[in-house]
Amino acid sequence: MLFPPVRRVSRSDLRVALVHMLGTVTGAVLMATAFWVLSGFVPPLSNSVRAAGVVIGAAVVWATKDAALFKRFRLPENQRQIPPEVLFRSGLSGPFQFGFEIGTGVRTYLPTGAPHVVAILLLLSAPTIVEAVVCGASFGVGRGVQQVATAVARNRDCFQEGWQRPVSAIGPFVSAITALGGVAVLL
Which of 107, 103, 108, 86 shows the shortest CA–CA distance to 30?
A: 103
Percent over 90 (pLDDT), the chain = 19
Cα-flanking dihedrals φ and ψ of residue 153, to 5°?
-70, 140
In this prediction, residue 26 carries a pLDDT of 96
pLDDT band at residue 66 using 50, 70 and 90 as cut-offs: low
- Residue 172: per-residue pLDDT: 66
**Is the pLDDT higher at 71 or at 135?**
135
**Average per-residue pLDDT in the chain?**
79
Domain assignment of residue 4, yes or no: no
Is 3 domain-assigned?
A: no
The candidate with the shortest Cα–Cα distance to 68, out of 159, 175, 187, is: 175
The span from the CA of 50 to the CA of 1, in Å, is: 38
CA distance linking residue 139 with residue 111, whole number of Å: 14
- pLDDT top residue among 155 and 122: 122
As a whole number of angstroms, the distance between CA 27 and CA 6 comes to: 29
What is d(CA 56, CA 59) in angstroms, rounded to the nearest whole number? 5
Tell me how many domains the chain contains.
1
**Mean pLDDT to the nearest integer, 10-31:** 89
User: CA 42, CA 155: separation in Å to the nearest integer?
Assistant: 49
Residue 2, in any domain of the structure: no
Instruction: Tell me how crowded residue 110 is: count the other CB atoms within 10 A of its CB.
Output: 17
**Domain span at residue 91?**
11-186
pLDDT beyond 60 at 151? yes
Question: Is pLDDT at 129 greater than 90 in this prediction?
Answer: yes
Non-local CB neighbours of 114 within 8 Å, separated by 6+ positions: 174, 175, 177, 178
Determine what percent of the chain is predicted with pLDDT higher than 70.
Answer: 70
